[in-house]
């Protein structure tokens, strides 16, 4: 059984977690998933599999490795879904500062390829244990490996904003090294007005990780 006290390490997620692409056989397990964002549960149950069949997005379910192996040898009678992540191909229109950065490197495109985190959710009972960060690292590593077949420079996400800081996912992504694209903060009378609703498009440049892989280093970060 997965204990509530267990913490997950983003630098070493492979030892603790397994990611499985959603299939029909998971229909019972996903029913028990709990999230305070109703639409994220609805998507998982009603749309994730269909979107996958229609090649619109891929959803991966996240399990604890210990729980999974005990479950498959019948020493645990319950397989617990810790979270899920949905990914799809994307591209971003470069804002002024990225355009200038790429122009200096001799790249004159207006937009560049990316992998998008379409949805990410950790079960309410397992939040704040490092799982969300592990899922971000997993997605960044997938984006890096995409470069063996088609180019991918960024990991992107539309971060859900909330006036309550502990529910404002902008901070979660900032902690995971994402930056805001087209910042919506604005100044008037020397006061910074911060965006606190809707979504903010954020990106993580995976180039440093790609070069790490090219030089034969492991991708742990």
Ligand X SMILES: CC(C)(COP(=O)(O)OP(=O)(O)OC[C@H]1O[C@@H](n2cnc3c(N)ncnc32)[C@H](O)[C@@H]1OP(=O)(O)O)[C@@H](O)C(=O)NCCC(=O)NCCS
- Percentages helix, strand, coil for the chain, rounded to the nearest 5? 40, 25, 35
Q: Which of 145, 137, 142, 121 has its CA nearest to residue 15?
A: 137
Residue nearest ligand X, Cβ-based: 132
The smaller minimum CB distance to ligand X, of residues 71 and 172, is found at: 172
Question: How many angstroms separate the CA atoms of 118 and 215, rounded?
Answer: 30
Min dist. Cβ of residue 35 to ligand X (A)? 6
Q: Which two tokens stand for residue 45?
A: 């149950």
Minimum separation from the CB atom of position 62 to ligand X (A): 10
Q: Given the complex with ligand X, which of 107 and 196 has the nearer CB atom?
A: 196
Q: Which is nearer to ligand X, 15 or 74 (CB)?
A: 15
Cβ atoms of 93 and 110 within 8 Å: the answer is yes
* Least gap, CB of 108 to ligand X (angstroms): 31
Report DSSP state, residue 56.
S
Name the residue nearer to ligand X (CB basis): 52 or 127.
127
Shortest distance in whole angstroms from residue 211 CB to ligand X: 25
Closest contact distance (angstroms) between CB of 79 and ligand X is 19
Backbone angles phi, psi at 116, to 5 degrees: -105, 140
CB 154 within 8 A of CB 114: yes
Which neighbouring-strand residues pair with 202? 157, 180
Q: How far is the CB of 136 from ligand X (least distance, A)?
A: 8
Q: Which residues bind ligand X (CB under 6 A)?
A: 35, 37, 40, 120-122, 127-133, 157, 159-160, 166-169, 171-172, 175
DSSP symbols for 132-149: HHHHHHHHHHHHHHHTTT
Angle, CA of 83, 57 and 221, to the nearest 5°? 55
- Cβ proximity to ligand X: between 35 and 59 the closer is 35
CB of 35 or CB of 67, closer to ligand X: 35
């Amino acid at each position: 059984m997965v204990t509530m006290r267990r913490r997950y390490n983003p630098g070493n997620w492979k030892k603790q977690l397994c990611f499985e692409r959603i299939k029909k056989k998971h229909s019972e397990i996903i029913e028990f998933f709990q999230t305070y964002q109703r639409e994220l549960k609805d998507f998982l149950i009603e749309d994730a599999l269909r979107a996958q069949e229609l090649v619109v997005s891929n959803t991966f379910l996240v399990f604890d490795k210990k729980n999974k192996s005990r479950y498959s040898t019948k020493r645990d009678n319950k397989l617990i879904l810790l979270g899920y992540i949905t990914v799809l191909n994307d591209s971003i229109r470069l804002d002024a500062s990225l355009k200038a950065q790429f122009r200096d490197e001799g790249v004159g495109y207006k937009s560049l390829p990316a992998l998008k985190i379409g949805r990410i959710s950790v079960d309410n009972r397992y939040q704040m244990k490092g799982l969300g960060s592990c899922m971000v690292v997993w997605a960044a590593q997938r984006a890096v490996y995409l470069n063996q077949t088609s180019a991918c420079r960024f990991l992107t996400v539309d971060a859900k904003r909330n006036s309550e800081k502990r529910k404002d996912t902008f901070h979660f992504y900032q902690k995971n090294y994402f930056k805001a694209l087209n910042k919506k903060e604005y100044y008037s009378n020397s006061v910074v007005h911060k965006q606190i609703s809707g979504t903010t498009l954020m990106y993580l440049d995976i180039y440093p990780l790609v070069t790490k892989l090219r030089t034969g280093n492991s991708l742990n970060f």
